[in-house]
Amino acid sequence: MLAPLLLVVAAGATSIAAGPATAQPAAKPRPLGQVVPAPASVSEGGPSYALSDKTRIRVDDDSNEAHRIGAYLADVLRPSTGYALPVTNRDAKDGIRLRLSSDRSLGAEGYRLQSGRYGVTITAARAAGLFHGVQTLRQLLPAAVEKDTRQQGPWKVVGGTIEDVPRYGYRGAMLDVSRHFFTVDQVKRYIDQMALYKINKLHLHLSDDQGWRIAIESWPRLATYGGSTQVGGGPGGYYSKADYKEIVRHASSRYLEVVPEIDLPGHTNAALASYAELNCDGIAPPLYTGTEVGFSSLCVPKAVTYRFLDDVVRELAALTPGKYLHIGGDEAHSTSHEDYVTFMDRAQAIVGKYGKKVMGWHQLAGARPVEGAVAQYWGYDATSAAEKAKVVDAAKEGTKLVLSPADRAYLDMKYNKDTPLGLSWAGLVEVQRSYDWNPQTYLPGVPDGSVLGVEAPLWSETLSTNDHIEFMAFPRLPGIAELGWSPTATHDWDAYKVRLGAQGPRLAALGIDFYRSSQVPWAAR
C-alpha cells in the first residue's frame, strides 16, 4: 500500500505548501489543508457542510469506542454551537458519521475525512484513527467552536477529502513533574492540548533529584518523604497509584500511551534522601531544592540497589499498560563509566523481566543497549562529534531512536533573551528554529527505519503553573507534532507559519496562554 499512498502525498503537497496565498478571509470556511499537523493528502471541492440543529453524530452500532469518540466530539461542539448533536447508531441522512472500516491502508492511526452537502464522514481502521480525524474536524470549524459558551455560527466545513496517516508512530511530549509537581488535573489539561495535535505518547519524568512523584508500596518513603518538596522548596507532591491510573486512563481516552520514567542511576537524590541504605556510605543526604545536575548516584556495588530497582520497576510496570519503561541514564556524572555500564545492564534486564521495552536518554548508547532498546537523543548543535557517533553506531546496531534535540524540541528553552521563563543552555529556540529540521536526517548516518519519531520534553525547573506550561509549549509543541505526523513533502516554514497563525484564535478560544511569536502571522479570528 505504500507506493500509491506516497503518490497521493506528493499530489496533496501542492495545495498545502502554497504559502501565504492559502490564507482566507475568516468568514469563509477554512481550507481543508489549513490543519496542523498538515494532512498527508488533501483534495478540496464540492459543496460544504453546515452543522445545524438537525445534525446527528452517527456511529457504528457495534463499537463502544466509536460511541465514546462520538460523545467526546459532541462535548466539544455542543456548548459553542448550542445544537443538541445526539449520538446515535440510527441511520441519519444529515450528520457527522464515524465509521470503522477494514481499509487497512489507513493503518493504526490514519483516517479519511470526506465532507459534502449532507455531512462529514470520518473513516478509520482503528478507533485511534477516528479520534485523530475528529481532531482534524475540530480544526476545520471556526475557532469559536472551541469556546464553552454559545457563539454565532455558521458552522461550515468546506467540501472535499482528506486522507491522512502519520509519518512516525512515536509522537511524544514529556512533562517533568519532579522539579515542580503538577496535579492530576494539570496533567489532564496538558493531555487534552496534546491530543488536539495528534501527539500519542505522554512521557512522565517521575523522579529526579528534587522529587520522587509516584507511590511505591514496597518503598513508601520514596513518595512520602522524597516527594515532599520541589525546586525552590515548595510542598511538592506525588501521585498515589489511583492518581497515576487516572492519568493513564485519561491519556488512553485521548489515544496517548503513558511512558513513565524513573531517572537512574544519577538524578536520584530524592531516593537517596529517602533511604539511607541506598547510599554507598549509608548516610542519607538532605532533600534538594536547587537546580544543579550530576551530583547524585545510586550505589552500583550494593545488592540493595537492585532489590530497590526490582521493586520499583515491578510496581510501575504493573500500573502501566504501555510498552515502554524509561530508565533515564542521562548526566550520570557521579557514576564511573564502569559502574554506569554495569548498572545499565542490570536495570535493562529488570525492565525486560517485567515485560517492558527499555527506553533511555541517548547516553544509553555509551553502555550496552539491549535488543529493542530505544535511545532518546537530546544533544544539540554543540554536542561533540564523538557523542553523536556513539548514537549513530548504536542505531546501526539496531537501537531505535526518538529525536528530541535540545535546541529544537526542548520546550523549556527560552524563545528569545527576554522570555521570562525557561533556560537557555542549548540556546534560544524561536518557533522557526523549533520547526525547521528533519528527524530523519538530523543525525547523518542513521539507517532508514531507526527513527521511531520525535518528542518535545518540557523540563520544569522554572515552571510551576498551567500558564507556564502553555506559554512554553505553545506554539512550539504543534510544530514538533507536525514533524512527527506530516510527510516531508509538506515541510515548508512559509506555509507552516500561516497554518500555525490560523491556530492562534483556536488556542485563545481554548484559554491557552501562548507565546505570540513575531515570526508567525497570527490570524485575527
Which residues sit at the interface with ligand ACM, rule CB under 6 A?
330-331, 361, 378
Q: CB of residue 330 vs ligand ACM: minimum separation in angstroms?
A: 4
Q: CB of residue 267 vs ligand ACM: minimum separation in angstroms?
A: 8
Residue 14 neighbours by CB distance under 10 Å: 11
Residue of 144, 121, 163, 123 whose CA lies nearest to 8: 163
Residue 449 neighbours by CB under 8 Å, 6+ apart: none
Distance CA 82, CA 310 (A): 53
Nearest residue relative to ligand ACM (C-beta): 330
Our CB check for ligand ACM shows the closer of 99 and 414 to be 414
Residue of 438, 445, 337 whose CA lies nearest to 389: 445
Distance CA 434, CA 426 (A): 12
Our CB check for ligand ACM shows the closer of 330 and 482 to be 330
Our CB check for ligand ACM shows the closer of 434 and 486 to be 434
Distance CA 82, CA 71 (A): 15
DSSP characters over 101-137: ---GGGTTT-EEEEEETTEEEEEESSHHHHHHHHHHH
Distance CA 270, CA 92 (A): 58
Distance CA 514, CA 470 (A): 6
DSSP characters over 154-168: --EE-SEEEEE--S-
Q: With beta carbons less than 8 A apart as the criterion, state whether 245 and 319 touch.
A: yes
Q: CB of residue 302 vs ligand ACM: minimum separation in angstroms?
A: 25
Say which residue the cell 528533519 belongs to. 438
Q: CB of residue 329 vs ligand ACM: minimum separation in angstroms?
A: 9
Select which of 277, 331, 430, 470 is catalytic.
Answer: 331
**Cell (9 digits) for 138:** 475540530
Q: CB of residue 449 vs ligand ACM: minimum separation in angstroms?
A: 24
375 forms bridges with which residues in the sheet? 360, 401
- Kindly report the CA angle at 404 between 411 and 9, in degrees rounded to 5? 100
68 forms bridges with which residues in the sheet? none
Q: CB of residue 347 vs ligand ACM: minimum separation in angstroms?
A: 16
Residue of 149, 119, 124, 150 whose CA lies nearest to 135: 124
Active site residue 146: no
List, by residue number, the catalytic residues: 331
